Structure 1
């Protein structure tokens, strides 16, 4: 029997799902963040952790692993050396197909048909399939891109909290909570910044959203600006011919109501998730691990 393993390697966590040839889900697993910016070795470790947990959950034995066709979607695939490194890694599967996290999300959301998606989670990106054309908007990586994302919210909130600490703007409940989290010390924030990555910044996004929903005068415009940036991603995909668009990612449910009414009217619920898209990818194509595409 052939098994299909879908892996969604994202900036916050990695998820894996195994199904059989009839499309029945057999098992699932999770791992840590796998954004390529944290390093290929750590990303592969998270992928293997999630995959191993899914195999265990499915009750598959060592001999079954060689009959698995895997599809991986990973954020940051456009970084130099990432695709080559993944292809060369000796994953134990019969075949391996690799695409961006946006590509598998779009496959799942529209079940392989034309359409667009905007992912808003740790990062942000717009992606659409329109006939033979692939449209990609943004997604170049934090901090130069990923506008409206969780990492972007966190960065803007921390910056304004430092402004408030300096007296450049008035403190609000959000800025005070952030400063208090660093014991009120700017040096603590700077030391944290020296080691922080996009995932670390994105951890502040729920706090920002909570305060914005309560009308915090600093948090609210940060979220309004994020919504404008996501609005624009959606509008570009629609203008490029996407017949419809889905809003996906961990921050999507909370940001949805902040979008312009005209944009919300043109969104639709995804028909499937990114893991379903990764499984479709595994079914469509793949090469034995260790070989170049």
Structure 2
């Protein structure tokens, strides 16, 4: 039998690539890391006897998950030394995206899990695999996988969206927040925020951002009051509104030509979380789409 060509291998792999990147991104919280892992999986796919693989989707998902588990060891060490607040790289939803309930707060909650808990939870609760397949993927027996997923579920339950917000309504709140915050309309801004609102800003030491998360309505209002003069002097340039990691938000270019994403977590009609990413390393994939 003639060997299967690399073109034939790519013909099988390429349609699966977007789904594999989704798995890797939710495991790692990094677009670049996810794409690297999936490319590593493709190179492994080229180097095996593909004729012996009965289910390429399951096989490749297994390869990607195991590569992610290996990579998480070094990733967790790097994030422990990260400058300021760490946020996942933002993904801005397009019309073709598959939407699930892995929102930005849930991605952050997944960071508190062990790698195996994270894998079991994502594969079973998010991607809908049975525990037999989860077990084959992460190399544990089904009972252990059930326990791993259960522990993870208990840890992240509060960070899953209990009352999903209709997309149009969420984007209307994002528009109102952008206008009030950039125009210095403090009373309108206050009306949009919950009493326990928290601001997270990720500059990664490469763009200006306050360090630790800032919580409480008065503290957050004071923060935006200090920004008011800067916004008045150099107006943010709105790129577009959109859904960012499952949350309504917007992309802007700020003073100094700094690209920024802002995502808003909503609860009971008020903003409870403001997630700002300014680290240019985390926005390269977005910047590329703007040129």
* TM-score where L is the length of structure 2: 0.27
Considering Cα pairs closer than 8 Å and 6+ residues apart, tell me whether 1 or 2 has the greater RCO: 1
* TM-score where L is the length of structure 1: 0.27
**Larger fraction in helix:** 2
